[in-house]
Amino acid sequence: MKKTIICTVCPNGCVVEAEYTTKEDLVLTGYGCKRGVVYCTDECFEPKRTFTSSVKIQGANRRMMPVRTTGPVPKELLMKCAEEAHKISLETPVKSQQVIKEDFLETGVDLIAAMTLE
Ligand code: SF4
């Protein structure tokens, strides 16, 4: 299989070519550093994304507040993350970076508030 991946780890945005049939014979070309190797290997075999969404909040002058995970989660869990986030209802005050759900869906990363609402 051949795949072109744009590495999003840093602003350089290296265009990496991946060729493989299994993880063991993966050949990557075009990357600028080892972080790109890790990112592109994950993109081929276990793609991950940082989850961002909004959850309900009460006591504020808005009905929803933005949240995100502290790191990437497996891409196939994004829909489940959205379903879980939909069940959450917070009350003010909430501080930016405040942990909303520890070890969100047992992914090893937390769901945190992305803004402060007093
Ligand atoms: S491969 Fe390295 S230098 Fe290139 S975009 Fe990814 S992190 Fe940046």
φ, ψ at 113 (rounded to 5°)? -70, 140
Same domain, residue pair 84 and 109: yes
Q: Find the 35 Cα to ligand 1 centroid distance in Å.
A: 6
The CATH number of the domain holding residue 107 is 3.10.530.10
For residue 114, what pLDDT is reported?
Answer: 97
For residue 22, what pLDDT is reported?
Answer: 94
Distance CA 57, CA 66 (A): 10
- Ligand 1 atom closest to the Cα of residue 6 is 5
- Ligand 1 atom closest to the Cα of residue 16 is 1
For residue 94, what pLDDT is reported?
Answer: 96
Distances (CA, A) of 107 to 26, 71, 78: 26, 9, 11
Q: List the residue whose alpha carbon is closest to atom 6 of ligand 1.
A: 36
Q: Is residue 100 in a domain?
A: yes
For residue 54, what pLDDT is reported?
Answer: 97
Q: At residue 85, what is the residue type? A: A
Q: Coil, strand, or helix at residue 46?
A: coil
Number of compact structural domains in the chain: 2
Distance CA 8, CA 6 (A): 6
pLDDT per residue as tens, the chain (118 positions): 999 999 999 999 999 999 999 999 999 999 999 999 999 999 999 999 999 999 999 999 999 999 999 999 999 999 999 999 999 999 999 999 999 999 999 999 999 999 999 8
Q: Is residue 118 in a domain?
A: no
For residue 81, what pLDDT is reported?
Answer: 98
Q: Are strands 99-101 and 89-91 parallel, antiparallel or unpaired?
A: unpaired
Same domain, residue pair 11 and 30: yes
Q: List the residue whose alpha carbon is closest to atom 1 of ligand 1.
A: 36
Name the pTM for this structure: 0.81
Q: Find the 89 Cα to ligand 1 centroid distance in Å.
A: 38
Q: Find the 37 Cα to ligand 1 centroid distance in Å.
A: 8
Query: Is the previous residue joined to 74 through a cis bond, with omega within 30 degrees of 0?
Result: no
* Residue 25 domain boundaries: 2-46
